[in-house]
Amino acid sequence: MRRIALLSLIHDRSKLVASIAGVTFAAVLVLLQMGVYAGFLTISSATITHMGGDVWVMPRGTEVLDSVEILSSGTRSAVGAHPCVSDVRPLVFVWSFIRKAGGTRDSVRVVGVERGRGPIMPWELERGLPSDLEGPGRVAVDAFDLGKLQIQGDPIGARLDIGGQRAEIAGITQGVRSFTLLPFVFTNIRDARRMAGLGDGEANYWVVDLKDPACAEQVMGDIQRNPQLMAVRREDFVTMTQNYWIGGSGVGPALGFSALLGLIVGVVVVGQTLYTMTKDYERELATLKALGATSWELVRFVGWQAGFLALIGSTLGSVIAFMTTGAAAAGGLTIVLSSSVMAVGLGAVILMCVAASFMSIRKVLKLQAAEVFK
């Protein structure tokens, strides 16, 4: 039955091409929408992910990474004194203003960390080294933002005015974007505090590394005895931030709707093709039934065709989606096609093909073998 089904499908080239195009289109649409969604999730919480740590300490009531308040150095000392804590790292993560070459002002997101403690920041440094940011006023900006910041020529060494402080570009990142599209400016902790107007020893977050992750609950409980503070596991803070931006902004439903639209288009195109093909082969299928094929064997005829279309369409769709990812990155759009995105996306495409074959299967099951004599 497999051979009959597949050869029949391949025999009619025009229908085959239309069907594969339909599945491919649906697969590309679904994968890209999911990839964009995953990209938004990733960039909205990238700073938390890359900073690492087991527990994040923040002012009570904080909902999202981007809504920041100031924590004193006393908090660091108190948390660091806990026997389960191995290190407490500061993160400065504030809005600031940049004065562009043309005299206009724009907003930027200043990120400052202590070098040599925790993971390397900034991540994805394309030019320069993390140590290059240790000098006074040295910053790193993303290659994509150079135009927006009106920096022309070789950006290394270019002078900037951030938060009224003089700065100089010493590093270039690649693909480090924020969900709000504000340019990231990475610098050392001292200059970050200066640009943000923070005092010595202050920070927006204290990132806690534990000696043993098993004592996270105990540490968080102890920190939260202070009514001003909140302690959250890193992975929970990632989720909080993603939910805030993706859920609150309406981006999630919008992308989900687009992906659903892709699936519906795919169901219609593939369903139409499979149904037409089943109708075209009605006489032959009735012949097989007359010759003793069971209904299940005839359903397999449709199943093999749907499966073949799903396989080819998904493969082509994946290739096109991956190719699109590179082009999108150059345009500043982050598309993340992780293994889980691919698995869910391709699973949806397979389900789409299964759904598309329902009408054909229904027709096959209702087939009257006596039709062979008409």
Chain contacts with another protein (rule: CB under 8 A): 1, 3-4, 7-8, 10-12, 281, 283-284, 286-295, 297, 368-370, 372-374
For residue 270 the two structure tokens come to 């593939």
Nearest distance from C-beta of residue 361 to another protein, angstroms: 16
The number of residues in the chain equals: 374
Alpha carbons 249 and 43: distance in angstroms, whole number: 14
Closest to another protein by CB, 1 vs 268, is 1
Q: How far is the CB of 35 from another protein (least distance, A)?
A: 37
Tell me the pairing of strands 184-188 and 105-113.
parallel
Instruction: Kindly tell me which of 225 and 374 has the beta carbon lying closer to another protein.
Output: 374
Shortest Å distance, C-beta 14 to another protein: 14
Cβ atoms of 142 and 174 within 8 Å: the answer is yes
Q: For residue 138, what are the β-bridge partners?
A: 168
The residue among 323 and 370 lying less far from another protein, judged by its C-beta, is 370
Closest residue by Cα to residue 145 from 95, 108, 111:
108
Smallest gap, in angstroms, from Cβ of residue 8 to another protein? 4
In the bound state with another protein, the residue whose beta carbon lies nearer, of 237 and 281, is: 281
Dump the DSSP string for 191-243.
Answer: HHHHHHTPPTT-BSEEEEEES-GGGHHHHHHHHTTSTTEEEEEHHHHHHHHHI
Q: How far is the CB of 300 from another protein (least distance, A)?
A: 11
Please state, in angstroms and rounded to a whole number, the distance separating the CA atoms of residues 276 and 316.
Answer: 23
Please say which residue, 206 or 308, places its beta carbon nearer to another protein: 308
